[in-house]
Chains A and B, each alone.
Chain A
Amino acid sequence: MAKKNKNWLRLRWVLVLFLTFLASLSLLLFYLVQGKNIALLHPRGYIAHQQYSLMLFVVAILLIIGIPALVTLYIVAWRYRESNPKTVMSEHKASKSLVATIWIVPTFFMIVISVVMWPATHKLAPQKSIASENKPLTIQVISLRWKWLFLYPEQGIATVNFIQLPINTPVEFEMTADEVPMSSFWIPNLGGQLYTMTSHVNRLNLMANTIGDYPGSTPEINGAGFTGMKFTARVSSDADFNQWVKKTSQSQNILDQNSYKELLKPSEANPVVLYSDFDGTLYDSVIMKYAGSAEGHSGH
């Protein structure tokens, strides 16, 4: 018995050591990420913000059930340890009410989460346009191997691996792909991602509410150059945006059939390119190129 107790004492020391380790790890992590851009916890857009609040809500609910459950588990394990003199053997089976409790408690919490989830999923559906006083902006997105091509149909300009957005303005991204495997369009600071696919138009609605430069990427693997398939989303004031459009429309580059063919060739870590004009039929022709796939796939 004495030795058993000694064993326990050692285990207790290990536990203390482990908790110290966890505490120092947390401190270290806190120090390392301090002042860094933790995109999901620092939302800079309307959608990202709501996704963030929803996430906090879900985590809170889960912790309300998770923490007491874990604490109970370890307390029970400790209280009924063999070396505790108070512990006696029993063939105790769970009572009916205990069995009912272990079913009802998780069911209740999952109902709470579901009740919130269902409407939130509809409200935050990426296809849904965002209501705002400002006139929405449309940007057509074509993912290529391995770069992003953006078309501003209303402004008549096009860009590669860079977009500028006016603040507090709903933006609808109409996304498709050309000669690239499924990719995903993601600007973590502004909101969640959506896949881009050939023959298919996916619509993603976002609205930025803080000025700044935010990184965008494809988190879905699409081949050798996928790591370098990054772009910057610059959120600016309306005036700055208009000025940028003006400046871009004076660029020497024009996106015609030839320069598009160039873009279709696989390339990695492409530099930013700005085009003052593009072929108006380009976007539709990219979709029509894969029309054989199926009717009813394109558009929603």
Chain B
Amino acid sequence: MSEHKLSHHEEEADDRALFGFWVYLMTDLLMFAVLFAVYAVLHGNTDGGETGRELFKLPLALTNTLILLTSSFTCGIAMIAARKGDKRQTLLWFGATFLLGLAFLALEIFEFYELIHEGHNLGSNAFLSSFFVLLGTHGLHITFGLLWIAVTLGYILKRGLNRHMVRKLTMLSLFWHFLDIVWIFIFTIVYLGAFV
């Protein structure tokens, strides 16, 4: 563990930054709330096209859910290691989170690819527009999360695991759990909702 001790001033700054990040997460959640509301309004407007029940593959979505849940779990373990100052374990578990996230993204892209290949794309009808944009926005967030993990891990390798890094990791893990929660909503409302 790095010997770097935080002064009172720095601790206050950390506390503020974390609070600000929570507020940011709230604004992001509100953006998703709009997309969910839009999906709720438009999901029946298929303009004569196929509905979610006919298009969605539940096993695929379930697999994705499990992958993301597991990644949240590994992210949690990584944070415990980070707080203990265990650099090796931190790298290991965040690495696992990264790979799981990548798998999730790959599966999602595969799902999109199949749908588009069958002629169901963004512009087909209002239902599909809202579906693709809601999931796409989540996917974009996951992409940014992966980028963030990669860069952070790079810095930990280079500079070691100091207190600043732990604060940054805390935000990162908050972000990752947040995306997990949003996905649970997506899974429930979009996928399960289609089969109710």
The reply, when asked whether chain A contacts chain B directly with Cβ atoms under 8 A, is yes
Q: Which residues of A contact B (CB under 8 A)?
A: 292-295
Whether B125 and A295, one on each chain, are in contact in the complex, defined by CB atoms closer than 8 angstroms, is no
Whole-angstrom distance between the Cβ of B49 and the nearest chain A Cβ: 9
* Contact partners of A293 in chain B: CB under 8 A: 45, 47, 126
Q: Which residues of B contact A (CB under 8 A)?
A: 44-48, 125-126
Whether B44 and A292, one on each chain, are in contact in the complex, defined by CB atoms closer than 8 angstroms, is no
* Contact partners of B44 in chain A: CB under 8 A: 294-295
Q: Using CB atoms, name the residue of chain A closest to B46.
A: A292
Q: Using CB atoms, name the residue of chain B closest to A296.
A: B44
Whole-angstrom distance between the Cβ of A298 and the nearest chain B Cβ: 13
* Contact partners of A295 in chain B: CB under 8 A: 44
For the complex, give the distance between the alpha carbons of A82 and B141 in Å: 61
* Contact partners of B45 in chain A: CB under 8 A: 292-294
* Contact partners of B48 in chain A: CB under 8 A: 292
Q: Using CB atoms, name the residue of chain B closest to A297.
A: B45
**Can you list 11 contacts pairing A with B, beta carbon distance less than 8 Å?**
A292-B45, A292-B46, A292-B47, A292-B48, A292-B125, A293-B45, A293-B47, A293-B126, A294-B44, A294-B45, A295-B44
The 10 A-B residue pairs with the shortest CB-CB distance, nearest first, are A292-B47, A294-B45, A292-B48, A293-B45, A294-B44, A292-B45, A292-B125, A295-B44, A293-B126, A293-B47
Whole-angstrom distance between the Cβ of B184 and the nearest chain A Cβ: 28
For the complex, give the distance between the alpha carbons of A268 and B64 in Å: 55
* Contact partners of A294 in chain B: CB under 8 A: 44-45
For the complex, give the distance between the alpha carbons of A295 and B125 in Å: 14
For the complex, give the distance between the alpha carbons of A185 and B171 in Å: 53
For the complex, give the distance between the alpha carbons of A293 and B42 in Å: 9
Whole-angstrom distance between the Cβ of A128 and the nearest chain B Cβ: 27
Whole-angstrom distance between the Cβ of B20 and the nearest chain A Cβ: 35
For the complex, give the distance between the alpha carbons of A293 and B126 in Å: 8
Whole-angstrom distance between the Cβ of B161 and the nearest chain A Cβ: 54
Whole-angstrom distance between the Cβ of B178 and the nearest chain A Cβ: 32
For the complex, give the distance between the alpha carbons of A292 and B126 in Å: 9
Q: Using CB atoms, name the residue of chain A closest to B41.
A: A294
For the complex, give the distance between the alpha carbons of A293 and B44 in Å: 9
* Contact partners of B125 in chain A: CB under 8 A: 292
For the complex, give the distance between the alpha carbons of A295 and B48 in Å: 11
Whole-angstrom distance between the Cβ of A288 and the nearest chain B Cβ: 12
